[in-house]
């Protein structure tokens, strides 16, 4: 019974790690499509998102059946509940990558990102994809010192996001209001993706410590 | 033991209903501050949000202790897990009301909303506050036919949101890029608030039916 329980718990962890990889890959492809003004690539990201939604539903079913059949307590209960929480956040990361891709479709054939901001969005892509990978490694247990690193990258994302908004809303802005509005939303999608990764990292820490983290990340 | 369990479950429901009221009131006040360019009122919404975060943490603790001590199964397990899920969504509604209030502070002393769009935001406020109230009644069990109504209002919010974005990004837009960027984000805060309310309503339905709803609402 206990052995089966631990096997199922490990499978749940594998599922979550797989979801992180999926979300990171979605953001990598969405950013590439954004920079390349590649509407076909963007469409692919949009339609692939349904699979992440299904995987999340499968995680929920597994977690519920673990709770119903094994009635875990203490740290094992925290692990199962945290898995439910994380699955939701990771699915949301996929949604946000999809929103980036949808913006490509919305502005096509015009690029959503003006030439002088391409490098900023490329960097937002690198940072957020890196965060998804860090969180995957935390979930898989192949790293333990990851929470601080995830937070560091989140600070970088926040700084880039703030700088972008200042550029868009500044006096020197030379593009039109439509471009500004789309860029403000795009920047927010990256920032929120990063926030979800932080939430997952904090929640994983909670499994170890039993101390409820402050899950409000102002997002 | 069972009686104590049902008492605690009822208390959890009361907590959630209270959180809905709180989130709805936060959005009502944030919208008022937005329309009145009332930075003091906005500050009050921002600082009050911490209480909703704490209430959510208390809900989580209660739900976890119910799971650990009572090991519920079937519909009772679904109820406790759904409470965890809903508490997170309702806390998020509070965050989004706070973001509306933060925008008032950001653009002060300028109004964030130009005169010709005031009525649109007033309507977004009325609709989303109404959704928080509908969800509160669903949680409290004082209405059962609410899911369809919540969905109807969500459709209205989506339509207003789409119309707003079209206005902001259209050729006839006469305001600057800064105003457009802030309005695009503001409109999104209302739309996301409505999405969370829909998620809660769907999850409550799931308690009754045991059928996992499609929780991906594209948000």
pLDDT in tens, A90-103: 999 999 999 999 99
Q: Of A56, A81, A218, which is closest to B64 when you measure between CB atoms? A: A81
A residues 165..184 contacting B (CB < 8 A): 165, 168-170, 173, 175-184
Say whether pLDDT at A214 is over 60.
Answer: no
pLDDT score of B214: 52
Structure tokens at B116: 């010709």
Residue A216 pLDDT > 50: no
Work out the angle at residue B48's Cα, subtended by the Cα atoms of residues B90 and B201, and round it to the nearest 5 degrees.
15
- Identify the pLDDT of residue B143: 79
The answer to pTM > 0.90 is yes
Greater confidence, B208 or A20? Answer: A20
Contacts of A74 in chain B (CB under 8 A): 68
Per the CB < 8 A criterion, the answer to whether A142 and A102 are in contact is no
Q: Which residues of A fall within a CB distance of 8 Å from B173?
A: 177-178
C-alpha distance from B71 to closest chain A C-alpha (Å): 5
Q: Which long-range contacts (CB under 8 A, 24 or more apart) does B154-160 make?
A: B154/B194, B154/B195, B154/B197, B154/B198, B156/B127, B157/B124, B157/B127, B157/B128, B157/B131, B157/B190, B157/B191, B157/B194, B158/B191, B158/B194, B160/B120, B160/B123, B160/B124, B160/B127
- Say yes or no to pLDDT of B219 above 70: no
Which residues in chain B have Cβ-Cβ distances shorter than 8 Å to A180? 177-178, 180-181
Whether residues A178 and B169 touch (CB distance < 8 A) is answered with yes
| Res. A205 pLDDT band, cuts 50 70 90 | confident
B124 vs B141 pLDDT, higher one: B124
**Contact: B185, A188; criterion CB under 8 Å:** yes
Q: Residue B217: what pLDDT?
A: 44
How far, in whole angstroms, is CA A99 from its chain's centroid?
Answer: 12
User: pLDDT value at position A61?
Assistant: 93
Q: How far is CA A46 from CA A1, A59, B79, B199, B200, in A?
A: 41, 21, 32, 21, 24
Neighbours of B8 (CB within 10 A): 17
Q: What is the ipTM of this complex?
A: 0.93
Q: Which candidate, B129, B192, B135, places its Cα nearest to that of B17?
A: B135
Mean pLDDT over residues A32-48, rounded? 98
Task: Please state, in angstroms and rounded to a whole number, the distance separating the CA atoms of residues B193 and B196.
Answer: 5
More confident residue, A191 or B204: A191
Q: Which of A74, A177, A219 sits opposite B168 (nearest CB)?
A: A177
Q: Are A73 and B68 in contact (CB under 8 A)?
A: yes
How many Å lie between the alpha carbon of A138 and the closest alpha carbon of chain B?
A: 22
Q: Among A32-46, B63-77, B110-124, where is mean pLDDT lowest?
A: B63-77
Cα(B128)–Cα(A109) distance, integer angstroms? 34
**Quick one: tokens of A172?**
């020197």
What's the rounded mean pLDDT across residues B137-164? 92
For A132-197, strand residue ranges (E) read none
pLDDT at A213 over 70: no
Question: Is the pLDDT score of B78 beyond 60?
Answer: yes
* Res. B215 pLDDT band, cuts 50 70 90: very low
**Cα-based distances in Å from A133 to A21, A166, B76:** 6, 29, 36
Give residue-wise pLDDT tens across range A159-171. 999 999 999 999 9
Residue A186 pLDDT more than 60?
Answer: yes
pLDDT above 70 (res B5)? yes
Contact call for A185 and B180, based on CB within 8 A = no
What mean pLDDT comes out for the span B95-116? 97
Total number of residues shown for chain A: 219
Q: Where is pLDDT greater, at B210 or B184? A: B184
The nearest CA of chain A is from the CA of B115 a distance in Å of 18
Binning pLDDT at 50, 70 and 90, where does residue B212 land?
A: low
Percentage of chain B beyond pLDDT 70 is 95
* Mean per-residue pLDDT over chain A, rounded: 93
Of B68, B88, B177, the CB nearest to A180: B177
Interface test with A, best of B91, B180, B182 (most A CBs within 10 A): B180
Q: What is the mean pLDDT of residues B174-194?
A: 97
- Of A133-137, B31-35, B144-148, which gets the smallest average pLDDT? B144-148
Partner residue opposite B177 with nearest CB, options A84, A175, A212? A175
Q: Which of A57, A212, A219 sits opposite B95 (nearest CB)?
A: A219
């Amino acid at each position: 019974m206990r052995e089966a329980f631990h096997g199922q718990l490990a499978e749940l962890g594998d599922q979550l790690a797989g979801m992180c990889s999926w979300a990171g890959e979605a953001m990598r492809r969405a950013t590439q499509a954004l920079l390349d003004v590649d509407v076909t690539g963007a469409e692919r990201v949009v339609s692939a998102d349904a699979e992440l939604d299904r995987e999340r539903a499968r995680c929920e079913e597994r977690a519920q059946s673990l709770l119903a059949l094994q009635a875990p307590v203490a740290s094992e209960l925290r692990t199962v509940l945290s898995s439910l929480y994380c699955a939701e956040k990771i699915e949301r990361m996929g949604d946000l990558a999809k929103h980036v891709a949808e913006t490509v479709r919305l502005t096509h054939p015009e690029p959503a990102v003006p030439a002088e901001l391409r490098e900023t969005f490329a960097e937002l892509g690198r940072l957020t994809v890196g965060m998804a990978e860090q969180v995957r490694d935390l979930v898989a247990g192949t790293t333990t010192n990851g929470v601080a690193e995830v937070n560091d990258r989140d600070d970088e994302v926040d700084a880039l996001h703030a700088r972008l908004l200042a550029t868009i809303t500044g006096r020197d802005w030379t593009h039109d209001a439509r471009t500004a509005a789309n860029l403000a939303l795009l920047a927010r999608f990256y920032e929120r993706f990063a926030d979800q990764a932080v939430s997952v990292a904090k929640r994983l820490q909670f499994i170890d410590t039993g101390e409820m983290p402050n899950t409000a990340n102002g997002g």
